[in-house]
Every structure is written in C-alpha cells, then in structure tokens.
Amino acid sequence: MTPTTWLRRLCAGSILGLGLALLPASASATTTIACSGTTVVLCTGHTTEVSGLDANFKIEKPAVWNGTLVLYSHGYDSFTVPLPPQDAGDPYTGGWLLSHGYAIAGSAYARAGWSLQQAFQDQIAVLNVFDTRFSHPTRTIAWGHSLGGMITAGLIQLHPDRFTAALPMCGVVAGGVGVWNQGLDSEFALLTLQSPGVFKLTGFTSKADVDANFYAAYGAAVAALATPQGRAHLALANALADVPGWFAPASPEPAATDFLTQVKNQVEWMKSPNLYFGFYGRAELEARAGGNFSWNTGVDYKKQLAKSTQKAEVKALYAAAGLDLEEELDKLNDTPRIAANPAAVDYVTKYIVYNGNIEQPVLTLHTTGDGLVQVTDEQAYASVVRSAGNSSLLRQAYVHRAGHCTFTPAETISAFQTLVRRIDTGKWAGIDAATFNAQALALGALNSAPPSFINFKPGQFLRPFDARNLDGEGDSGNQNNQN
C-alpha cells in the first residue's frame, strides 16, 4: 500500500504538495448557502475566509430544535483536495443527535494537512452562518476526533465566548510542538541505533526526497523485527514515544510480559500510520511552517526512557538481545542533535499549544491502546489545566481498546450525555467507568462492540511543551507540572 493510499484510508482526505505556500490573504469575505428539507433542514455552502480559500460547510437543524448546536471538527486530511464537510464523526452518532433535537454543523476547512490555521477561522465562520441563517444557539458544544480533537481544544482556548462545553476525542491535546518532538525522538533512535546514515528526519525538499527517506525508514523498521538486536532497538524507539504494544481493536491486549507480541504490534503502528506522519505529515507541516519545527537538543534519553510506560519491554528485549542498554543510551545522548528553526517553532506553537485556560466544562475521551495519538497526551493536557487552576472544569474518560479513535457510537453518545448533564446541573456526575458503560449499553444497537470504558490513569507525556514555555530551546518540557 502506498503512503497516499494508506493516509486516504485513515483520514478520507488529502496531503498537500510540498512547497505549497499559504495563499495571499483576501480583503473580503463572502458566503454562499443553500438550504432544503423540512423534518431536518440541511444547509450547505462555502465561506471565503482570510486565507483566500473556499471552506465548504454543512449544517443540519431538526424541525424541533432544542436550542443546542454541536460543532464537529474532523481529523487530519492528508491529500490535496479538502474533505467534504462533516458535521458528525459517524452517521449513527449524527442521527442520534438530530433525533434528540440537536443541530449539528461542521466545516471541511479551506486547506488539507495540518490545517489548524484554517480550521479555527472556518469553524467560527460556520457558527456565524448558523447565527445568520437561523438564530444564536442557547448552547454550543464543540467536539471532534484526532486533529479535530486538537482543533476542538484550540477553539475553546481561542474563542471561549462562543462555546458552552467541549468533547475532544482521541485528540492531539499535548499540543503540536510536544507531539512532533516526541515523534522525532522515536525516529532519531531508530536511525541512530538501527540504521545510521540511512535516512534523514527533517529538511525535506521534494516529494521524491520524502519518498526515499520514508521507504528507507520503513524498510529499517521491518528488517529490525527479524533479529533480537533489531527488536531491542524497535522497543526503545517506540518507548521514547510511548507507543503501546497493542494494535488491532478486536484483539485482546497482550499480557504485560508478552514483549515479543508487543514489539510486533509496535512495528504495525510504525508501518501504518506513524512513519507516514513522521515523513509525509512532517514534510507537509515543514512547508507550512517554513522549516523544521522539531528538535532534540538538550534531551537526555536516559531520563526519557525512565519516564516511559514501555521501559519494562525495552529492558527485557535488550537483555534477550545481549545488548548493553546503558551503552546504547549513551550513544543516543552523544549523537549530534537536530535543531529547530525558531520561526517554524513559532508557527506550530501558534497552531497550537495549550495554556490550560478553559472557561467551560471539557470532557476528553481516549482509547488506552492508541498508538498514533498516545493516551499520554491526556496527562499533558490535564497538567496545564491543573496548573492554570481549572481542574474542576476538566474530566477525562478512557476506553480500553486498541486503535486510534475506535469508539463505538454508543460510547461516544455516553460521553456526550455526561457532558450535557454537567452543563445542565453545573456538577460532574457519573464519570466512572461503570456509569459510562451502563449508559452506552442502554443505547442498544448503537453498541457495535461491547462498551469498554475503564477507570484509568495515563502515564507521563515525555516531551511536554505548553503556551507558558516558549523559549524553543533544549528539552522544553514543563516537568514540574507533571504528575
């Protein structure tokens, strides 16, 4: 499967060509809109925003409307043409919302890729269209998956006056800088220990350049699985990004000491999707940001591994391979590092890292076996919210399942119901796994798998970076803010 085919399957979207600059700003903004229907009014159209690009949108409003608008932000769109507009993560959840009186809406965003810059303005534009075409909602709830979860958390930080509550799901809520730095650590370990000099990690100049380096890294990861020494290197590389050893959603989680199965599953994550994002996604964002936005200067990899949830696997596989772990960590620490372009860091920081200043209830949802957006992202987000003094507004729920965003409609609706109850009563209630599961089970056929909420505490995010720590030097992690 080619990288573009796989990413289309994951995101149902498009990747931008390398070197595509942001289009010049437009001095004006226009809107077209067409509506039809009676039981549910469907409106579609586009807005021309300051990027100068058209952002298609979709709005559905039931005839008997409860006054609440639910704004959906979709995930990463990885090809040239933006996705069709989406107003729900799946048709079953969207249908439930409409049948219970909620209006739903969402934008396609004006550009594909790491589209936060466009998404923030385009999603607010959709709210403005709704106000103009219908009326101002009594409540507006933001929600979204993956990059859309990141956008959701960003919307309430940037536009708190427009939202009543938020449900970021499987979101990149550790913020862009920390997440990309953590991915760089993983790839740096694979390059340094398994395949020195075989591929590069940043500074891509063309699609052919990305292709060559991606396939070299992909081949190195697959080949490493065949030897005990290679498996040890794979375990360390994945531990530095806290990639879980669980891949298939329908499979049971491997036993805690089944390290061979765990490393095989981690290679599946590397094959699809992590290396795709590490090369093709990175190249797209480098083109946006104007250079390399990640660094590992100042990082002590011994300290990083000590904090990883996967360190037991690393120690066991290193012992099985007869390799000296301390010696190899010293090699990582002694290898010349990668520095970032400060202007590029500024771009990714702006679009976006988090400061914890939330003004409305937020419930996040994550699977425990997510190897693309690791569950430890949730710890990073909770940390900045706590440091800002807003912990009473945040709750986090977890589903015990492998996969990225592999929630059932019933699990999603159960979380949504809990968030609405918090809005209605002003108090959090029923946020334990048993209550979440009971609510989901009561939704009958919307359970495409048994509800699997679990009481869970994620490990520490390894490369935290937030909006109060913008020096762009060394290991910019607010370690003092961590659990």
Res. 78 pLDDT band, cuts 50 70 90:
confident
Of 106-110, 151-155, 185-189, 460-464, which range is least confident? Answer: 106-110
pLDDT reading at 265 higher than 50: yes
Strand-pairing partners, residue 42, are 36, 60
Per-residue pLDDT reduced to its tens digit, 336-371: 999 999 999 999 999 999 999 999 999 999 999 999
Q: Is the dihedral of CA 448, 435, 168, 267 positive or negative?
A: negative
Per-residue pLDDT reduced to its tens digit, 403-446: 999 999 999 999 999 999 999 999 999 999 999 999 999 999 99
Q: Is the dihedral of CA 13, 16, 17, 18 positive or negative?
A: negative
| Other residues' Cβ atoms within 10 Å of the Cβ of residue 4 | 16
Q: Is the dihedral of CA 99, 104, 108, 114 positive or negative?
A: negative
Strands 40-48 and 30-36: antiparallel
Helices marked H in 66-168 — which ranges? Answer: 91-99, 116-133, 147-158
In angstroms, the CA 15 to CA 33 distance is 27
Cβ atoms of residues 157 and 393 within 8 Å: no
pLDDT score for 8: 39
Mean pLDDT throughout 368-382? 98
pLDDT score for 84: 85
pLDDT reading at 380 higher than 60: yes
Residues 6+ apart with CB under 8 A from 353: 175, 176, 177, 178, 465, 466, 467
Question: Does residue 62 sit in helix, strand or coil?
Answer: strand
Per-residue pLDDT reduced to its tens digit, 298-330: 999 999 999 999 999 999 999 999 999 999 999
* Angle, CA 227 vertex, CA 304 and CA 191 arms, to 5°: 45
Nearest to 459 by CA among 433, 434, 483, 425: 483
Domains and CATH numbers, the chain: 8-174+353-454 (3.40.50.1820), 177-348+470-481 (no CATH)
- As a whole-number percent, the residues of the chain with pLDDT over 90 amount to 85
**Long-range contact pairs involving 224-229 (C-beta distance under 8 Å, separation at least 24):** 224/190, 224/194, 224/267, 225/263, 225/264, 225/267, 227/321, 228/317, 228/320, 228/321, 228/322, 229/321, 229/322, 229/323
pLDDT score for 22: 28
Max intra-chain CA distance, the chain: 70
Of 13-22, 53-62, 387-396, which range is least confident? Answer: 13-22
Tokens linked to 35: 């509506």
- The helix-helix angle for 259-269 and 311-321 (nearest 10°) equals 110
pLDDT score for 4: 42
Per-residue pLDDT reduced to its tens digit, 109-166: 988 999 999 999 999 999 999 999 999 999 999 999 999 999 999 999 999 999 999 9
Cβ atoms of residues 334 and 325 within 8 Å: no
The burial of 293, by beta-carbon neighbours within 10 Å (0-12 exposed, 13-18 middle, 19 or more buried), is given as buried
Mean pLDDT throughout 15-39? 53
Give the chain's mean pLDDT: 90
Q: What is the dihedral of CA 272, 214, 76, 22, to 10 degrees?
A: 180
pLDDT score for 204: 96
Res. 264 pLDDT band, cuts 50 70 90:
very high
Mean pLDDT throughout 182-203? 98
Res. 53 pLDDT band, cuts 50 70 90:
low
- The helix-helix angle for 433-441 and 409-425 (nearest 10°) equals 120
Backbone angles phi, psi at 21, to 5 degrees: -80, 160
pLDDT score for 467: 77
The total number of residues shown for the chain amounts to 483
pLDDT reading at 262 higher than 90: yes
Cβ atoms of residues 167 and 142 within 8 Å: yes
CA-to-CA dists, residue 7 to 98, 115, 202, angstroms: 30, 15, 20
The owner of tokens 């599946």 is 268
Nearest to 94 by CA among 408, 407, 409, 363: 409
| Other residues' Cβ atoms within 10 Å of the Cβ of residue 12 | 16
Per-residue pLDDT reduced to its tens digit, 220-235: 999 999 999 999 999 9
Cβ atoms of residues 167 and 361 within 8 Å: no
CA-to-CA dists, residue 370 to 94, 148, 205, 363, 383, angstroms: 24, 16, 31, 18, 20
Mean pLDDT throughout 272-294? 96
Question: Does residue 35 sit in helix, strand or coil?
Answer: strand
Q: Which residue has the higher pLDDT, 444 or 13?
A: 444
Cβ atoms of residues 363 and 235 within 8 Å: no
Cβ atoms of residues 338 and 295 within 8 Å: yes
The backbone region for 393, taken as left when phi is positive above 0, alpha when psi lies in -120 to 50, beta otherwise, is alpha
Tokens linked to 157: 């930080």
